Chains A and B, each alone.
Chain A
Amino acid sequence: MSLKITGTGKACPEFILTNSDLTELVDTSDEWITSRTGIKTRYISTDETLLDIAVKAAKEALTRSGIEPGDLDLIICSTMQGDFITPSLACQIQKEIGAECPAFDMNGACTGFIYAIDVAKSYFDAGRAINILIVAAEQMSKLLDWKDRETCVLFGDGAGAAVFSKGTGLLAIKITAKGDDKLLTIPGTSGNSPFWTGSREDSFLHMQGKEVFKFAVNAMCRDIEDALDQAGITMKEVKKVIPHQANMRIIKAASERFGITDDQLAVGIDRYGNTSSASIPILLCELMESGELREGDIVVLSAFGGGLTSGACIIKI
């Protein structure tokens, strides 16, 4: 089907926040965070804009792909919130890298990268594109209540990018949505309209962790199974599985149900925390850089998150 990966890139802010640093902010401990999430450190923005890291990741992906910015037919940026509400982060990236193609943001929350691949597939299938740049960039640190110990320890900032070109590498893809505005939410900005009589909530992330955990494990298992069926392959033929990095316990629970081996499983939550939709392309880039994923290898991507959304795809490198 329709596309292949021609280059990947990633970037994070410089500042590394450790679990012990967090104990100075909220009542928590390294032991508590590590045993419940698997997170040890995460990157947090200090003076970097989201555009800074998004462009760095995008340029790295373009350089590796050998494709000129002028040869891009579309830029899709997966983000929950760019530096501006308008212009879109994708349009800012287009300007910074010197591309001339259409560009837009989309919000599939943590599943955003898979959603973006699904859109890209449609462009390739319709003959509307030869090269598409997808950048997943998230600055979770701006969406967190740093006084809430349940959530502020979980997330990090980061960007991952991939250039996709017309090809035959996509073996299967599936995306889902199950609308819900209770379990995982970040209220929007409320402005200062003197006429608005409704509530004015802070724009902070809220999560009912236990229910989200259930949703995540079930979605991951169901989506990967469906994608394997669609591709007509078994897990044994898969070189690497890159699950969305939300919580090591979710990843382990789903992996055990599936018989995914430690060698197959890509893990970055310990070093990055949950970077929302950036988590999968960051690890994809790491595996391409290290040579753990080579041409001909099969990789499974699986994500779940706010929406509630979920999705999985299988790509032959």
Chain B
Amino acid sequence: MKSNDTLERVANMIAEFRDIDAAAITGETTFEDLGFDSLDTVELVMAFEDKFGISIEVNQDLKTIGDVVDMIDKLVE
């Protein structure tokens, strides 16, 4: 999967999760920028796990949306 596709899918899911404009989300956007606390991030990660059929370790540092996109791309390969 190309990471641009992944980014788009991830951005759309985030937009759905919290009423945010998907177009405003880039790889550099941090969860903090979006006003997410650590448990929001976990809930999102769980949604990504379901969507992409993977298991993401949440104890590691996932700061930006790009971090998550990279992680997803690595795991679905």
Q: Which residues of A contact B (CB under 8 A)?
A: 35-36, 208-211, 213-214, 217-218, 247, 249, 253
Q: Which residues of B contact A (CB under 8 A)?
A: 37-39, 41-43, 45-46, 57-59
Q: How far, in Å, is A230 (CB) from chain B's closest CB?
A: 23
Q: How far, in Å, is B37 (CB) from chain A's closest CB?
A: 7
Chain A positions within 8 Å of B58 at CB level: 210-211, 214
Inter-chain contact A218/B59, CB cutoff 8 Å: no
A111 to B43: give the CA distance in the assembly, Å: 22
The answer, among A35, A208, A214, A247, for a CB contact under 8 Å with B37, is A35
A211 to B49: give the CA distance in the assembly, Å: 13
Chain B positions within 8 Å of A253 at CB level: 43, 46
The answer, among B41, B46, B59, for a CB contact under 8 Å with A217, is B46
Q: How far, in Å, is B60 (CB) from chain A's closest CB?
A: 10
Residue from B41, B43, B57 whose CB has the most chain A CB atoms within 10 Å: B43
Inter-chain contact A213/B59, CB cutoff 8 Å: no
Inter-chain contact A210/B43, CB cutoff 8 Å: no
Residue from B39, B41, B58 whose CB has the most chain A CB atoms within 10 Å: B39
A-B pairs, top 9 by smallest CB distance, nearest first, are: A210-B58, A210-B42, A249-B39, A213-B42, A253-B43, A208-B59, A214-B46, A211-B59, A211-B58
Q: How far, in Å, is B58 (CB) from chain A's closest CB?
A: 4
A210 to B49: give the CA distance in the assembly, Å: 14
9 residue pairs A–B, Cβ–Cβ below 8 Å: A36-B39, A210-B59, A211-B57, A211-B59, A213-B39, A214-B45, A218-B46, A249-B39, A249-B43
Chain B positions within 8 Å of A211 at CB level: 57-59
Q: How far, in Å, is B68 (CB) from chain A's closest CB?
A: 14
Chain A positions within 8 Å of B39 at CB level: 36, 210, 213, 247, 249
A237 to B37: give the CA distance in the assembly, Å: 35
Chain B positions within 8 Å of A209 at CB level: 38
Chain A positions within 8 Å of B42 at CB level: 210, 213-214
Q: How far, in Å, is A211 (CB) from chain B's closest CB?
A: 6
Chain B positions within 8 Å of A213 at CB level: 39, 42
